[in-house]
């Protein structure tokens, strides 16, 4: 049986992923997870657009109400993280716990199917020698989304297909136009779905977190100004502090207990080490001795060389060659050997 369940957000990428597999002869079933109330991708508009594409392709369309799963795994996770002074990354968590795992479960249990596909830009290959499914960057480096997929398990990778990983976004748009897909002209999503749905991260957080004003202090505890709630700030942030100072100041710590934002000059904002937890090794088995590789600490940051020292309990220590800025607890540190994503985890300490 060559049935495949394609996750449809109502955007152009997943529409083309579904159309491509359909034209390759797969029996495609469209599946949209209803994640949030409101308008936009993943919400009512997304469901309608996904349904229109399925109608066009002549394939079935299923909608699964996943609002509770999204609330528990993403909204509650973000709110408790920001309240605790970290800056959580929702997308990798969403991919594993809200999208891929539930989609595969639904495919297996409801549709007797063992294969799922999405419109992500990334590649998967099976390595015979290590007997592992490896995750690779997309051919289109500018669209590469492998960073957000570092937390997928071997079981999920074995079942997943990324039909767009070998093509550029321009090619995807061209295919959508050639096929006359209803979603061909839809603009790319510019930001996190939550931000698109709420206007800004601040607006989203203010809906769930009570604003609690407090002090902005320097590393000696001297009060420099007032903040509007620690959840409005991120480690490494320089702009929007509202403090007049002789030299640029950066957020170096968020202290939820004292309800304080701590700032320091550029020298104090750099980190030469950090600890990463909840490691998921993807393309290689968990190392038992230090390895030298490259790490990306933000989606859009450049990879930098690093020594990775294994610790107990799925944690590693990173030792950078040069101090790094914007090492932010809650964000993902993802390791790469050129195009191969080795693994990744969540930054838990930045000093």
Q: Considering the complex, state which of residue 74 and residue 295 has its C-beta at the smaller distance from ligand ATP.
A: 74
In whole angstroms, give the CA distance from residue 27 to residue 104: 16
Closest of 322, 318, 323 to residue 333, by C-alpha: 318
For ligand ATP, the nearest residue by Cβ is 11
Place of tokens 């449809």: 8
282 is in an annotated binding site: no
Closest of 236, 226, 231, 197 to residue 327, by C-alpha: 236
Q: Considering the complex, state which of residue 12 and residue 201 has its C-beta at the smaller distance from ligand ATP.
A: 12
Q: Which of 88, 90, 119, 165 binds ligand ATP (CB under 6 A)?
A: 119
94 is catalytic: yes
Judge residue 171's burial from the number of C-beta atoms within 10 Å of its C-beta, 0-12 exposed, 13-18 middle, 19 or more buried.
middle
Our finding on whether 13 is near ligand ATP (CB under 6 A) is yes
Binding positions for ligand ATP, 177-196, rule CB under 6 A: 189, 193
Q: Considering the complex, state which of residue 129 and residue 199 has its C-beta at the smaller distance from ligand ATP.
A: 199
Torsions phi, psi for 38 (to 5 deg): 105, -170
Q: Considering the complex, state which of residue 118 and residue 146 has its C-beta at the smaller distance from ligand ATP.
A: 118
Our finding on whether 138 is near ligand ATP (CB under 6 A) is no
113 is catalytic: no
Q: Which residues pair with 329 in a beta bridge?
A: none
Q: Which two tokens stand for residue 38?
A: 């409101």
Q: Which of 87, 101, 118, 324 binds ligand ATP (CB under 6 A)?
A: 118
Q: Which stretch binds ligand ATP (CB under 6 A): 75-83, 116-124, 249-257, 311-319?
A: 116-124
Q: Which of 5, 21, 35, 104 binds ligand ATP (CB under 6 A)?
A: 35
Number of other residues whose CB lies within 10 A of the CB of residue 339: 15
Q: Shortest approach of ligand ATP to residue 1 CB, angstroms?
A: 21
Our finding on whether 197 is near ligand ATP (CB under 6 A) is no
Our finding on whether 165 is near ligand ATP (CB under 6 A) is no
7 is in an annotated binding site: yes
Spatial CB neighbours of 171, under 8 Å, sequence gap ≥ 6: none
DSSP 277-322: EEEEE-SSPPPSS-EEEEEESSTTSPPEEEEEEE-STT-EEEEEEE
Q: Which member of 42, 94, 113, 274 is catalytic?
A: 94
In whole angstroms, give the CA distance from residue 80 to residue 278: 17
**Beta-sheet pairing, 27-34 with 61-65:** parallel
Our finding on whether 41 is near ligand ATP (CB under 6 A) is yes
Q: Considering the complex, state which of residue 164 and residue 308 has its C-beta at the smaller distance from ligand ATP.
A: 164
9 is in an annotated binding site: yes
Q: Which of 32, 92, 293, 324 binds ligand ATP (CB under 6 A)?
A: 32
14 is in an annotated binding site: yes
Helix (H, G, I), strand (E, B) or coil at 179: coil
Cα atoms in the 13 Å half-sphere on the side-chain side of 54: 23
Torsions phi, psi for 144 (to 5 deg): -45, 125
The binding track of 81-100 with respect to ligand ATP, each residue x by CB under 6 A or -, is ------------------x-
Q: Considering the complex, state which of residue 31 and residue 104 has its C-beta at the smaller distance from ligand ATP.
A: 31
In whole angstroms, give the CA distance from residue 19 to residue 6: 10
The residues assigned a catalytic role are 94, 193
In the complex, the residues that contact ligand ATP under the rule CB under 6 A are 7-9, 11-14, 17, 31-33, 35, 41-42, 99, 118-120, 189, 193
- Residue ranges at the known binding site: 7-14, 33, 119
């Amino acid at each position: 049986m060559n049935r495949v369940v394609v996750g449809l957000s109502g955007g152009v990428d997943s529409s083309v992923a579904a159309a491509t597999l359909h034209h390759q002869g797969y029996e495609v079933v469209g599946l949209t997870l209803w994640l949030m109330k409101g308008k936009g991708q993943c919400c009512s508009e997304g469901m309608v657009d996904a349904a229109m594409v399925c109608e066009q392709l002549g394939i079935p369309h299923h909608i699964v109400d996943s609002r509770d799963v999204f609330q528990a795994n993403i909204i509650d996770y973000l709110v408790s993280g920001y309240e605790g002074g970290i800056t959580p990354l929702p997308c990798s968590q969403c991919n594993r716990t809200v999208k891929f795992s539930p989609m595969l479960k639904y495919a297996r249990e409801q549709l007797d199917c063992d294969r799922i596909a999405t419109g992500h830009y990334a590649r998967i290959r099976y390595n015979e020698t290590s007997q592992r499914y490896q995750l690779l960057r997309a051919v289109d480096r500018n669209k590469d989304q492998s960073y957000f997929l570092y937390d997928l398990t071997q079981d999920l990778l074995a079942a997943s297909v990324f039909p767009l990983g070998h093509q550029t976004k321009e090619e995807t748009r061209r295919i959508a136009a050639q096929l006359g897909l209803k979603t061909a002209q839809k603009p790319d999503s510019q930001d996190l779905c939550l931000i698109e749905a709420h206007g800004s991260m601040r607006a989203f957080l203010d809906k769930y977190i009570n604003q609690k004003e407090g002090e902005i202090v320097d590393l000696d505890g001297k009060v420099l100004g007032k903040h509007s709630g620690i959840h409005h700030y991120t480690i490494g942030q320089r702009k929007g502090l509202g403090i007049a100072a002789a030299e640029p100041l950066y957020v170096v710590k968020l202290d939820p207990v004292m309800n304080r934002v701590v700032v320091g000059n550029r020298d104090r904002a750099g980190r030469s080490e950090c600890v990463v937890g909840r490691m998921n090794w993807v393309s290689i088995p968990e190392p038992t001795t230090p390895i030298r590789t490259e790490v990306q600490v933000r989606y859009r940051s450049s990879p930098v060389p690093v020594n990775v020292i294994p610790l107990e309990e799925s944690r590693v220590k990173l030792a950078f060659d040069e101090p790094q800025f914007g090492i932010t607890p809650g964000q993902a540190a993802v390791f790469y050997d050129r195009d191969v994503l080795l693994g990744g985890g969540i930054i838990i300490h930045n000093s």
